[in-house]
Amino acid sequence: MIGTRARATMWIVQIAAILIAAIVIIPFLMILLNSFKGIREAALFRLSLPTEWVFSNYVKVLSTSHIARGFANSLFICGSVVVLGNLFGAMAAFLIQRRGGRLKLLYTTFILGLILPVSIIPTIKLMMQLGIHNTYLGIILFYTATALPFTVFLLTGFLKSIPREMDEAALVEGSSFFRLFFQIIMPLISPALITVTIVVTVNTWNDFFAPFYLISDSRKWTIILQIFSFMSQYQTNWGLVFAFMVIVVSPVLIIYLVLQKHILAGLTAGSVKG
């Protein structure tokens, strides 16, 4: 009886997983197939193979000048956010975990950042007062601030698996605090840092609303905002629009598929205290 119930539960879980995967895969597959169709056929939004494969959609998209600028902006913003978020998040997590109860309020504040939504209007007003609205610095600081709660939460849990005796031994041997942190602690938490890097990169790359509200200069638009501009310009040719979407999503999708095992390793490695 137990074996029968276990098999039935396994089948239910597998069917549920297939259905959930289909919800994600089918829309992307439709976009991919329609990106190779002509104007009329792509406008039908059908999940079918093209009657004629139109590869010129990708050639025309790649020949537009603003797509390269959008990629450059996204790479610059994502790279800056990853570096700042990992650095400051690791510092904060290290102090919170090692100091314990004395920084409990600070840790609680970071956790609230995971729960409370971002209020965009006060953020815009603050940026205008600081003179960083519609600048690369403003959007980078915004994304870094929104990434820190998750970074601190994950790294604090991961640091529990690293014994404090290692810190004490390094300090006794004459190591400075900064050398301890950068040469000993940072390499040890690299699995968690890889996880943070992937998650933050995906979230930053795919975000539309923050750059839409915080950046008005089209020369500083990210690649996601370029989709908005591209759709308004080529709204009668969905084949081109779908080709643009595939090009935009592909880098992040490839990174995620290649490094997904590091995400699981980083999320689970610090779950058990050593």
The confidence score (pLDDT) of residue 274 equals 42
Closest CA to 190 of 84, 269, 80, 77: 269
Same domain, 60 and 30: no
The least confident of 44-48, 63-67, 147-151, 175-179 is 63-67
Assess if residue 158 is contained within a domain. yes
Same domain, 87 and 188: yes
The confidence score (pLDDT) of residue 105 equals 85
What is the rounded distance in angstroms from the CA atom of residue 139 to the CA atom of residue 120?
12
The confidence score (pLDDT) of residue 83 equals 96
Same domain, 108 and 151: yes
pLDDT per residue as tens digits for the range 7-59: 778 888 888 888 888 887 888 899 899 999 988 888 888 888 888 898 888 98
Assess if residue 41 is contained within a domain. no
Same domain, 183 and 81: yes
Reduced to 3 states (helix: H, G, I; strand: E, B; else coil), residue 53 is: coil
Assess if residue 50 is contained within a domain. no
pLDDT bin (cut points 50, 70, 90) of residue 82 is very high
pLDDT bin (cut points 50, 70, 90) of residue 138 is very high
Residue 273 predicted with pLDDT over 60: no
The least confident of 176-185, 215-224, 254-263 is 254-263
Assess if residue 194 is contained within a domain. yes
CA atoms within 13 A on the CB side of 155: 31
Using CA atoms, how far residue 86 sits from 62, 154, 183, 192, 274, in Å, is 33, 11, 15, 10, 23
pLDDT bin (cut points 50, 70, 90) of residue 175 is confident
Range of the domain at 19: 2-34
The confidence score (pLDDT) of residue 264 equals 62
What is the tally of structural domains in the chain?
2
Residue partners of 159: CB distance under 8 A and separation at least 6: 93, 94, 97, 98, 185, 189, 270
Same domain, 19 and 113: no
What is the rounded distance in angstroms from the CA atom of residue 194 to the CA atom of residue 115?
23
Residue partners of 155: CB distance under 8 A and separation at least 6: 89, 90, 93, 94, 189, 192, 193, 196
Residue partners of 268: CB distance under 8 A and separation at least 6: none
pLDDT bin (cut points 50, 70, 90) of residue 226 is confident
The confidence score (pLDDT) of residue 136 equals 95
Dmax (CA) for the chain in angstroms is: 73
What is the rounded distance in angstroms from the CA atom of residue 10 to the CA atom of residue 163?
38
Residue 62 predicted with pLDDT over 90: no
Same domain, 130 and 93: yes
Q: Where are the alpha helices (DSSP H) in the chain?
A: 2-34, 39-42, 56-62, 65-99, 104-115, 120-130, 136-159, 164-172, 177-179, 186-188, 190-206, 209-214, 223-233, 238-269
User: What CATH code is carried by the domain that includes residue 260?
Assistant: 1.10.3720.10
What is the rounded distance in angstroms from the CA atom of residue 244 to the CA atom of residue 142?
27
The confidence score (pLDDT) of residue 272 equals 46
